[in-house]
Amino acid sequence: MENHSDNRETEQILNSTNGMRRAMAPTHLLGRIENRLAGRYPAVRTLPFRTVSAAAAGLLLLVAANFYILGRNKAVPQPAPDQVQVLANYYGLLDNGYGI
């Protein structure tokens, strides 16, 4: 029953727009708006393709160099800990009290 009253209310709302006139804009409004926008905002400047491609190539070179350096650093073997470091680790002497 509730659905029927909702449909009736919806129909009443839709029918309330019957007889209304459509809004009409003044005849030269679009031309005035276009003229005002053209005068206020200058043409957009674009970057030359050569500049953009040079910046992209430089960025790509930096990223490639970072990957190369990071890859080389992982391959460096770590020296074996000496006896003092082993004993200090065993007795927890290197801890700063915060578990780090």
Per-residue pLDDT tens for 75-89? 666 777 788 888 888
Exposed e or buried b per residue across 55-80, where buried means at least 16 C-beta atoms within 10 angstroms of its C-beta: eeeeeeeeeeeeeeeeeeeeeeeeee
Non-local CB neighbours of 94 within 8 Å, separated by 6+ positions: 88
Do 47 and 55 meet the contact criterion of CB atoms below 8 Å apart? no
What pLDDT, on a 0 to 100 scale, did the predictor assign at position 53? 95
Q: What tens digit of pLDDT does each residue of 12-42 get? A: 888 888 888 888 888 899 888 888 887 766 6
Going from N- to C-terminal start, the domains of the chain cover: 49-90
Mean pLDDT of the 7-16 span:
86
